[in-house]
Amino acid sequence: MDFQVNEVFPRIHHITEFPELKFDHLLDILKEIYHTNGNLEKIVILTSSDNTANIIADFLNRYNVQVTTYSGSRKPKRKRRAVYGFNTGRFQILVVSQSGLDAETGEIFHFINFDMTLPYPLNQRSTRNKNRRQG
């Protein structure tokens, strides 16, 4: 997965609770981010399956969080729409299943590992470092 990570706020959160507490822990993390930053934007939630990604999205929609999913099973048009909506701010959160994200995203401020086993591959690229090498 290729992401551009904001160097000032590259936080990675891990949810290690028992399965029945994972959603409570997710809400706690999102509340902490909201109280710290004043908003919920540019958050990627990593999960192990397409089904879990959909469950997380449905759960967060109940709290009026603008969320979309990206998974390998989606058609290319839906994948492009999800990434475009995330990049333009229409969606605050992008839930990515283990099948991965094969697209350019804007800056990411927070990653939340919902249930991926560690270690998982995460290639973090910074726009700032990329620009330094070119200029």
**pLDDT tens-digit map of 55-93:** 999 999 999 999 999 988 888 899 889 989 998 999 999
Burial class (CB in 10 A: 0-12, 13-18, 19+), 58: exposed
**Which of these ranges, 55-64, 97-106, 109-118, has the smallest mean pLDDT?**
97-106
Q: How far apart, in whole angstroms, are the C-alpha atoms of residue 75 and residue 8?
A: 34
Task: Look at residue 126 and tell me whether its pLDDT is greater than 70.
Answer: no
Cβ neighbours of residue 78 closer than 8 Å, sequence gap 6 or more: none
User: Bigger pLDDT: 8 or 127?
Assistant: 8
* pTM for this prediction: 0.77
- For 97, the domain range is 2-134
Tell me which DSSP letter residue 43 carries: E
The CATH number covering residue 51 comes to 3.40.50.300
Q: How far apart, in whole angstroms, are the C-alpha atoms of residue 11 and residue 25?
A: 16
Number of domains in the chain: 1
φ, ψ (nearest 5 deg) of residue 96: -115, 125
